[in-house]
Structure 1
Amino acid sequence: MRFTVISPDIYTYGAMLIAGILKNNGYDVVIKNTLSASPKDTVLLSLYSTQHLINEEIKSFVAERKKTQGEVFVGGPVSAYPEIIFGELNPDCVITGEGEDTVLLIAEKGISDDIPGLSYRDEKGDIIKTKHAGPASINRPLPLIPKDIAKQSIRGASAYIETHRGCTGACTFCQVPRYFGRNIRSRELEDILKEVREFKKHGAKRISVSGGTGSLYKYKNGQIDEDAFVELLKGMAKIMGPKNVSSPDIRVDCISDKILDAIRDYTIGWVFFGLESGSDNVLMHMGKGARVKQASDAVYKCREHGLKVAGSFIVGHPLETETDYELTKDFIAEHYLDDVFVSIAEPIPKTPLADLVLKTPSEKNPTYVPHAGEYKSLKLSESEARSFDLQMHADMFKPNLHVVTDEVFNAYLKGVRKDGFEVRAATDLLFKYYYNSEN
């Protein structure tokens, strides 16, 4: 049996990992970031965004494969709600949760009700869900790295590699603790460094640490292992060079002097905080587990260690008030972040945020409510208006001069309209299948 593993647009680590596991077990495997495969191949679609489920190109690709009897399996983070996948794409099966063991069992036995972590339709068309597969082993073979990995740039990195699984946080908008759990499972350092060498051998220009919060590597018994994180970055820098390593994503409550020094000495020198809001009220509803004072202290601490700081913010949370939003603007004005990323709250299936959105009437959801303020003539939703306003506001307070030209203005406007459309599409999808399952 020959497999084509496809991760649309970008080679995700998960897709490379699954492809590597299949190859290591003797299967002929091809990995692609485009929607194409030989007629006789079994296709594994690794989907990482809800938007993939309403993408017409992906829908057409799956439909054409089905016409030619080509099997299509779907896995990845979207697998949390198989009913949506079957309703929109109708693949042969959905691999739910961590799929390393499940995909090998399917390759060996075919679709079967005794394989854990699997959903499929029976002869009547009903969706059958087997028992949960449980956590996969953190020890595995090398991923299958594409020959053109050097051309890929995800926030400047050729690839994000996995150092551990799980997250101690419980952010209501995030799928990571629900997909991988809240217990931290860390890989052995030498296995990670062996992988880094393999990526470099294949031409990777920069490697970034994945896993949600890099400093949780080797976290155990409620304690962060500072020394383990330092050795991780030091080892990666020795292979790639410090300017070709990044460890951007980190929680404001998971830093220390030693951790920040390591980021300064062994990486590109940036820290990326998920700040989300300048309002304690919103942070509480988001389940961040940290407050504005902690976020503020973390930013200043990074400055003391000579690091650049980027922050991500989420607007349009169903419980975000105008006062909450103004507090976020105040936070940005005070802290002069080096870069700012703004997104509209997207309800990812099977997260608490999705549950909240489903309970929120459209006339009270900022993503649907028409903006009636300063940008009324632009015909934006309230969420889109806040995102647009916050991006322009942030440019005024970055350390280097950022002028909002007509070109920048139009780029921001185009971006927020796209974000708003996609979040509404994802929300509509939830309502469609929620009501179907309830009725």
Structure 2
Amino acid sequence: MRVLLIDPPRSTKALGLGEDKLGLLYMAAILREKNIDVRVYDAHIENNPFKDLKSLLKKYKPTIVGISIYTPTRFDAFKAAKLVKHADKETLVVAGGPHVSSAPRDTLENIKEIDIIVVGEGERVFLEICNSVAEKKSFEGIKSIALRKEGDILINARCEPIKNLDSLPFPARDLLRKYKHKEKSKYHFNMQMPDREIIKLSSTCIITARGCPFNCLFCAVPELWGRNVRLRSPENVISEIKHLKEAFDVDSFQIVDDTFNISRKRVFDICSVILKERLKVKWHCHMRVDNVDREMLVIMKEAGCFITYIGIESGSQKILDQVIGKKITLDKVRKVIGWCDELGIKRSCNFIYSLPGETREDVAQTIALMKELGGKQPFGPTMILPGSRIEKIAKEKGIMPKDFSWSRISPYKYYDPTSNSFLPIFVENLTWNEILDIFYKHITWQSTMRTKNYIFRILYRLLQIRSFTEAKLIFYNYFNFLRVFFRNLKKQKRKGAKTFKK
């Protein structure tokens, strides 16, 4: 048996990204422990086109292909599945990842090239699929999968999550060329921070916990990992950090937990061991402000944390409390930002708008807070993701069609025109033109690197039109983009950037 695990190529080139896909690497490690021939093809990291995938399929002739599917890149993943079946229709195509975990029925109803979907945590489930293929057994009894049966879609009950994360082997990073050959230039990518400094960020990822106890409006993480948080022991995390240094000369990484500081004690335990062992590493992480104090930030800084990403989302306390369910206060936001600046920890704060019930005054408060915090903070309209609370609200209010399919280009017309992802935008109180006006005005406030990235994506996107329906949506949005963008450029020349007014 030969297994190929794929993070698919991109139709639209991405600038500056390329983090490790830990889901694929964990599964590869599990399979390798069972002496299964497995390869990992991360086309995003290697910047490989679809033609290279065709060549690999022809040479390797896999028995099973596993494809990681995220909502922003779902159409590229569907294209990869079609390539697999075109190469050999007998190859079993198994899809996993956040998107299909949240929309298994929609995917199987519309993407005939996908045979099985792994719903949620994938390592042990995928191994069970491989064993069933080897033993020529039926898949129907495997928990946490969705598949077709006699013209219907069968979605099996979820299996119990892996309770002891320390029992998992470290991700099989050596199956990626950049680690196997220690191509250190691919260990990092450039990113322009809110203060306009361009820094190198590590593409090497470590996950120290799974699950999120919170229920933010826009997030679908619980669909993948669940609401119960499972933690790796500090000793296991430190062992992986040492392994990265010894095996691959990696001295910087990003912790990709949804919330690294979910446990105060655990943050102190991990940081204390890093200091005790004198590991001399640099890292960055995501955290929530409600679980932070100055003492925590001090030991994080001493242990090598130099950047933290904070989801603030809104400058309106009403929106944070009544709409998002964020459970943070703006007073605490200001304290944490002050501590980060005092200690020299760079911070990037994420903001969104066009939320349910959000007024123009709420948006004005968000922009005012962004200006107060300084720099060029990430800011964009609220995207709807499958499985999120906001998707349910959008359908209940008739904003999204109830029969909306994530697997087709829908006639729903409110999409980010600079993106190839066709992620729908929530449109309620603000008009579409107002949403675009804020968005494109913010592009002119963004960092130079971000602005160039947007322009590049817009131009490249014109070459990727796949259907008449898609063409109509793109040109409708680009008309608005050009109108707003050039109008704001003219205003900037005369008066400089203006804040959004109600």
TM-score normalised by L of structure 1: 0.79
Is the aligned partner of 1:121 residue 2:151?
A: no
* Cα distance in 2, alignment partners of residues 54 and 73 from structure 1: 15
1:358 corresponds in structure 2 to: 395
Q: Cα offset for 1:44? A: 0.8
What do residues 33-60 of structure 1 show as CA deviations (whole Å, max 9, x unaligned)? 1344322331111223343146563353
2:132 corresponds in structure 1 to: 109
What do residues 131-184 of structure 1 show as CA deviations (whole Å, max 9, x unaligned)? 111212412112110231441546621222111112232212112234222322
Is residue 351–residue 380 contact of structure 2 (8 Å, CA) maintained in 1? yes
Aligned residues: 394
2:310 corresponds in structure 1 to: 273
The CA RMSD measured in Å over matched residues stands at: 3.4
1:92 corresponds in structure 2 to: 115
Is the aligned partner of 1:294 residue 2:332?
A: yes
Question: What is the DSSP-based 3-state SS (H/G/I as helix, E as strand, rest coil) of the residue aligned with 1:107?
Answer: helix
* Cα distance in 1, alignment partners of residues 254 and 358 from structure 2: 32
More off after superposition, 95-104 vs 300-309:
300-309
Is residue 283–residue 306 contact of structure 2 (8 Å, CA) maintained in 1? yes
* Cα distance in 1, alignment partners of residues 313 and 460 from structure 2: 20
1:157 corresponds in structure 2 to: 202
Q: Cα offset for 1:414? A: 5.8
What do residues 50-107 of structure 1 show as CA deviations (whole Å, max 9, x unaligned)? 4314656335324425x53111100111122112221343311001111122111111
Q: Percent identity?
A: 22
- The change in CA–CA distance for 1:417 and 1:80 in structure 2 (over 3 A counts) is farther
2:406 corresponds in structure 1 to: none
Q: Cα offset for 1:363? A: 9.9
Q: Cα offset for 1:360? A: 3.7
1:2 corresponds in structure 2 to: 2
Question: What is the DSSP-based 3-state SS (H/G/I as helix, E as strand, rest coil) of the residue aligned with 1:97?
Answer: coil
Question: What is the DSSP-based 3-state SS (H/G/I as helix, E as strand, rest coil) of the residue aligned with 1:319?
Answer: coil
Summarize the alignment of residues 185-334 of structure 1 with structure 2, pairs less than 5 Å apart.
Answer: 185-200=230-245, 201-204=247-250, 206-216=252-262, 219=263, 224-231=265-272, 233-234=274-275, 238-239=278-279, 241-242=280-281, 245-284=282-321, 285-334=323-372
- The change in CA–CA distance for 1:352 and 1:68 in structure 2 (over 3 A counts) is same
What one-letter code is carried by the residue in structure 1 that aligns with 2:139? S
More off after superposition, 44-53 vs 129-138:
44-53
* Cα distance in 1, alignment partners of residues 61 and 433 from structure 2: 44
Q: Cα offset for 1:307? A: 2.0
Is residue 312–residue 333 contact of structure 2 (8 Å, CA) maintained in 1? yes
- The change in CA–CA distance for 1:418 and 1:326 in structure 2 (over 3 A counts) is farther
1:399 corresponds in structure 2 to: none
Question: What is the DSSP-based 3-state SS (H/G/I as helix, E as strand, rest coil) of the residue aligned with 2:320?
Answer: helix
Is residue 384–residue 416 contact of structure 1 (8 Å, CA) maintained in 2? no
2:178 corresponds in structure 1 to: 148
* Cα distance in 1, alignment partners of residues 230 and 69 from structure 2: 23
1:19 corresponds in structure 2 to: 28
What one-letter code is carried by the residue in structure 1 that aligns with 2:106? I
Is residue 100–residue 136 contact of structure 1 (8 Å, CA) maintained in 2? no
Q: Cα offset for 1:303? A: 2.1
Is residue 157–residue 205 contact of structure 1 (8 Å, CA) maintained in 2? no
Is residue 120–residue 223 contact of structure 2 (8 Å, CA) maintained in 1? no
What one-letter code is carried by the residue in structure 2 that aligns with 1:390? H
Is residue 315–residue 387 contact of structure 1 (8 Å, CA) maintained in 2? no
Is residue 148–residue 154 contact of structure 2 (8 Å, CA) maintained in 1? yes
TM-score normalised by L of structure 2: 0.70
* Cα distance in 2, alignment partners of residues 50 and 88 from structure 1: 17
What one-letter code is carried by the residue in structure 1 that aligns with 2:293? S
2:91 corresponds in structure 1 to: 70
Q: Which has the higher contact order (CA 8 A, sep 6+)?
A: 2
Q: Cα offset for 1:415? A: 5.7
What one-letter code is carried by the residue in structure 1 that aligns with 2:220? Q
What one-letter code is carried by the residue in structure 2 that aligns with 1:107? C
- Runs (4 or more) in structure 1 with deviation over 6 Å come to 363-366, 416-419
Structure 1: runs of 5+ lacking an equivalent: 371-378, 396-401, 429-439
* Cα distance in 2, alignment partners of residues 353 and 84 from structure 1: 18
Question: What is the DSSP-based 3-state SS (H/G/I as helix, E as strand, rest coil) of the residue aligned with 1:269?
Answer: strand
- The change in CA–CA distance for 1:288 and 1:418 in structure 2 (over 3 A counts) is farther
* Cα distance in 2, alignment partners of residues 29 and 275 from structure 1: 41
What one-letter code is carried by the residue in structure 2 that aligns with 1:148? K
* Cα distance in 1, alignment partners of residues 207 and 451 from structure 2: 36
More off after superposition, 314-323 vs 266-275:
314-323
